[in-house]
Structure 1
């Protein structure tokens, strides 16, 4: 029934019906559904963030092992990449012979996905 009053504010609907929407089952169910959606979204974002951090950390370790220290500017550029770019870089770095190959790869207009 509340959905029929789309042009009214919550306070107007509550005053008209003489009840608090927060006390209704519909409100509690909608609130719980929103809470669950928020939790799921948070988990997904957390997983993606963790994956990004893990992939960039692994790439930096591999580059450091192969070429020595990676400067902070290059490290920051790697950490700013999207997941698809990190995956592409992980494969491309197998063919790098110098750290300059990394710079060239990062400076490409668009890193193609392999």
Structure 2
């Protein structure tokens, strides 16, 4: 983005109204987190394949997949014997069952955050 847009975004977030809106979002449970992008081959999940299933408490599906990639890992949509971890939230279904059958390590929301270095 250019300088004008960047300044406009900055001005909105630092305005009283922007702070009010952000405060309202936080008060209803929106979790705002920044992810530091790791250099390729330099993250806690480098070389690991993860599958996200179910509804996570701290992440949307897209946020979880972005966190995996930013930590050097690979996000997959299906469980196989090459899967290193399955991140399972509420209402996890057949992917969780397959992970158990294959002996894949299963992480809950808290364990996933810990693996990412967020706790």
Whether TM-score is above 0.5 comes out as: no
Scaled to the shorter chain, the TM-score interval is: under 0.3
Q: TM-score under structure 1 normalisation?
A: 0.24
Instruction: Report which structure shows greater RCO (CA 8 Å, sep ≥6).
Output: 2
Q: TM-score under structure 2 normalisation?
A: 0.24
Counting helix residues as a fraction of each chain, which structure ranks higher? 1
Counting strand residues as a fraction of each chain, which structure ranks higher? 2
